[in-house]
């Protein structure tokens, strides 16, 4: 599939209590706002291709705390998933948004689901790409989980690796846990790197690699999913992370449409597979009567 030339987004920045969040605003200047939340170690640029296909839709893609160009939390504060939930609610308050449409990929999908379960009255719709809920810890494993996290913090802070140039970072990202194409890797690296004296480094907080102090339990995750009132579209890639547990959890959601599509975990970043999301997603928004702007900036 030939994708149209990407429109230049607008930079976004918002100071919250304790952290500054950055992001990118794509598409329409008016209309209802869709807030997009990326996956672990990705950034707002991961939504550029999809947002470009959603003509007339006002998309605000955030860099989650510790990612992209957003600020880092203090060492020791960690990045529990509920911290991202609190950040997003603070964004809604500052932007004076009573309700919002949420679009999340992977980690961002888990964050969006928790927001929709904790604050069902604030979420107008929920779109999840190859992800549904955050990682869990079995109750009997919680003591060992906490001990592992504390031991990690007692060690010296990890040193950031320096690359001679961004091209090597692109190659490294292409070979990551979830491989992406070279154009997709270039977009992620462009926003997720910084120049230093020794060359280039990733801009994300290395503490994102730390073990979590605690995680929600399976029963707690399902309680959040059961409280979601918004209509939900869940996109599952045939080469993605969907498994029996994810499908079982999905049955906790009342108003759910599952869309099975071709592609890998980052299917929304690839020209060959993005239409598998953009076309049904536009139909979903039209059925909901989502107001879009008449002109695209």
Question: Strand, helix or coil at 203?
Answer: coil
Rounded distance between C-alpha atoms, residue 25 and residue 33, angstroms: 10
> Cα-flanking dihedrals φ and ψ of residue 283, to 5°?
-65, -40
Question: Encoding tokens for residue 142?
Answer: 């919680």
Residue in the structure block whose two tokens are 């149209």: 4
Residue in the structure block whose two tokens are 């906790």: 252
DSSP β-ladder status, 10-15 and 20-27: antiparallel
Closest-CA residue to 203 (of 65, 90, 88): 65
Judging by beta carbons within 10 Å of its beta carbon (0-12, 13-18, 19+), is residue 283 exposed, middle or buried? exposed
Judging by beta carbons within 10 Å of its beta carbon (0-12, 13-18, 19+), is residue 227 exposed, middle or buried? middle
Q: Are 105 and 129 in contact (CB under 8 A)?
A: yes
- Active site residues per annotation: 106
Closest-CA residue to 264 (of 49, 106, 37): 106
Within a 10 A sphere around the Cβ of 91, how many other Cβ atoms?
Answer: 19
Closest-CA residue to 123 (of 98, 154, 96, 88): 98
Within a 10 A sphere around the Cβ of 128, how many other Cβ atoms?
Answer: 28
């Amino acid at each position: 599939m030939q994708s149209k030339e990407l429109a230049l987004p607008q930079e976004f920045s918002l100071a919250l209590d304790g952290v500054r969040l950055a992001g990118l605003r794509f598409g329409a200047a008016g209309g209802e706002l869709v807030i997009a939340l990326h996956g672990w170690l990705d950034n707002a640029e991961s939504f550029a291709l999809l947002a470009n296909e959603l003509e007339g839709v006002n998309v605000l893609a955030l860099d989650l705390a510790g990612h992209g160009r957003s600020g880092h939390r203090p060492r020791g504060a960690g990045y529990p998933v509920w911290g991202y939930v609190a950040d997003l609610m603070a964004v809604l308050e500052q932007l004076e948004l009573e309700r919002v449409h949420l679009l999340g990929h992977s980690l961002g999908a888990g964050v969006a689901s928790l927001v929709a379960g904790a604050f069902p009255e604030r979420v107008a719709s929920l779109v999840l790409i190859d992800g549904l809920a955050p990682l869990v810890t079995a109750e009997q494993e919680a003591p060992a989980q906490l001990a592992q996290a504390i031991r990690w913090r007692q060690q010296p802070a990890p040193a950031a690796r320096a690359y001679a140039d961004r091209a090597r970072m692109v190659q490294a990202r292409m070979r990551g846990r979830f491989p992406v194409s070279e154009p997709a890797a270039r977009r992620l690296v462009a926003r997720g790197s910084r120049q230093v004296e020794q060359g280039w480094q990733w801009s994300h907080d290395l503490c994102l690699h730390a073990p979590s102090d605690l995680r929600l339990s399976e029963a707690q995750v399902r309680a959040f999913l059961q409280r979601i009132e918004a209509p939900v579209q869940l996109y599952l890639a045939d080469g993605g992370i969907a498994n029996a547990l994810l499908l079982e959890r999905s049955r906790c959601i009342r108003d759910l449409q599952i869309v099975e599509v071709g592609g890998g975990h980052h299917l929304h970043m690839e020209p060959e597979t993005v239409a598998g999301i953009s076309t049904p997603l536009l139909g979903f928004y039209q059925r909901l009567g989502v107001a879009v702007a008449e002109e695209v900036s």
